[in-house]
């Protein structure tokens, strides 16, 4: 458990980047990777539900922000959850959209 908690903290410190304009921390512009990371955080939470769900809440906050700021007119998501990438770009990756569905589905069960 000590090693699992250490790795969870280290991954958060490594991947959560501070975005200057909002003052919030965001995950990288790789929703598919963020879904894999969430799966790992969920495994840790399942092993010890009394553990502070700080990592789950962090991802949930990122998703809530993306819902409000990082969706195009067609409701597809930008991989940049800050909403700073051109939302009207014609380029959207199905892998990113599918990852967003997975992220919401996984978090819906817990938080």
DSSP class per residue in the chain? -HHHHHHHHHHHHHH-EE-TTT--EE--S-HHHHHHHHHHHHHHHHH-TTS--HHHHHHHHHHHHHHHHSB-TTSPBPS-TTS-S-TT-S---HHHHHHHHHHHHHHHTT-
Q: Where are the domains of the chain?
A: 2-108
Say what the pLDDT of residue 98 is. Answer: 96
0.75 exceeded by pTM: yes
79-102 pLDDT per residue, tens: 989 988 766 776 788 999 999 999
Could you read off the pLDDT of 9-62 as tens digits, one per residue?
A: 999 999 999 988 888 899 999 999 999 999 999 999 999 877 788 999 999 999
């Amino acid at each position: 458990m000590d090693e699992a908690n250490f790795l969870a903290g280290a991954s958060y410190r490594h991947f959560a980047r501070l975005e200057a304009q909002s003052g919030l921390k965001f995950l990288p512009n790789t929703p598919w990777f963020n879904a894999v990371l969430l799966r790992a955080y969920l495994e840790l939470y399942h092993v010890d539900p009394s553990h502070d769900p700080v990592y789950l809440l962090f991802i949930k906050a990122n998703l809530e922000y993306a819902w409000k700021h990082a969706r195009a007119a067609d409701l597809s998501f930008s991989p940049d959850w800050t909403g700073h990438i051109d939302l009207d770009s014609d380029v959207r990756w199905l892998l990113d959209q599918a990852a967003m569905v997975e992220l919401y589905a996984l978090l819906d069960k817990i938080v």
